[in-house]
Amino acid sequence: MKFQNSLAFARSLDAEDSLSKYRNEFHFPQLNGKDVIYFTGNSLGLQPKRTQKFIDEVMTDWKRLGVEGHFHAEKPWWDYHERLAAPLAKVVGAKPREICVMNTLTVNLHFLMVSFYRPTKKRFKILCEEKAFPSDQYMLQSQVKFHGLDPNDVLVEVKKREGENAWHTEDVLEKINEIGEELALVLIGGVNYYNGQVFNMQAITEAGKAVGAYVGWDLAHGVGNVALKLNEWNVDFAAWCSYKYMNSGPGNASGIFVNEKHLSDKNIPRFEGWWGSDKKTRFLMKPEFEATQSADSWQVSNPPVLSLAPYLASLEMFEEVGMQALIEKRDKITAYLQFVLQEIATEVNGSFEIITPKERGCQLSVFLHGHDKSLFNYLMENGVVPDWREPNVIRLAPAPFYCSFEDMYRFGQILKKGILAEA
């Protein structure tokens, strides 16, 4: 398709968009009585309007039933989390029993490291990407120290090539093979938070497994954004947050994936709690832990139902639409945004650069040459909500559920005015 940088063309794309009706399913922040152009679904997704109904249902059951809501609510609380497993399994390419929703992302990564980072004298190194998200860096460093090891001896970062903005898959594979039998774990962010690059998770997982390492993925920026086949790829474990592309609300519950091959391993170490025990015998209050044969075995506490209700509301929409339709819209709207940016760049003498490679989801990271945060502030003051990352990168994520092609066109016009105003 030959794009055009015009309002009429953008509106024609919206008229053809089968997902355009879902824009009205979300609450938008307002500026001067108008919806903002919202580009930060990669940080916090907008609130679905149906969320309120799901929360009100829990509150009503609590008011009406008290403690009996655990078993007699319309959606009983004691197994509320299980309702999220099947729709999430479709989103991440897993089996429902490989999924559990619990805790928050970094907490879950710590829990999973207990099971999947078990260093020995020979096999103790961890491979991650250069400048991983700080929380991952802190988590990895503290886990290594917990085992009495020095992070400088254990953590191996795959770096970008000199002068380049993205990683090469062959460099990751080469580093895996170089470490070889010393490699205990590969743990990388499946979609890099800074430049929006999607790693070749299948190839990296295969390489890690080939040298005998466990392989896990932080999918904070991947779930609900890119195609995933965690079971098929033989990934050992993964974790993600739910408040970005999954639209479940600020700081909300995390999801985990544990490959089915580990679920019946009675010798696997993990931190255990009452709610991870077999539900058939849970209320017998047995002194010994008896694991349930699912990822729920990693769950230590009863589910935070008020947190899970918004997540379930969002997953209802994912069930209605399906990942394939979201990915098709994602690719089209992100390509149109790239086109608009390139058009504006020619009109303002190329004062910015897209640093996101072609392996991407719906995020474009734009490096501003010769501009500081004042341009970001201009965008915010004029109804655009992007994301700023030091030293001078603006992240733009046109989430396919609620962003429109008209948003992309209007953003381009505001960006042009902001750049010209600074000239």
- Distance, first Cα to last Cα, the chain: 33
> So where are the chain's domains?
7-35+322-422, 53-321
Give the gyration radius of the chain's Cα atoms: 23
**Run of H or E residues at 99:** strand 99-102
pTM higher than 0.85, yes or no?
Answer: yes
pLDDT tens by residue, the chain, 423 residues? 899 999 999 999 999 999 999 999 999 999 999 999 999 999 999 999 999 999 999 999 999 999 999 999 999 999 999 999 999 999 999 999 999 999 999 999 999 999 999 999 999 999 999 989 999 999 999 999 999 999 999 999 999 999 999 999 999 999 999 999 999 999 999 999 999 999 999 999 999 999 999 999 999 999 999 999 999 999 999 999 999 999 999 999 999 999 999 999 989 999 999 999 998 898 899 999 999 999 999 999 999 999 999 999 999 999 999 999 999 999 999 999 999 999 999 998 877 899 999 999 999 999 988 778 899 999 999 999 999 998 889 999 999 999 999 999 999 999 999 998 876
Dihedral-angle region of residue 180 (phi above 0 means left; psi in -120 to 50 means alpha; beta otherwise): left
Q: 7-35+322-422, what's its fold?
A: Aspartate Aminotransferase, domain 1 (3.90.1150)
* Cis amide leading into 96 (omega within 30): no
Q: Which CATH class name applies to 53-321?
A: alpha beta
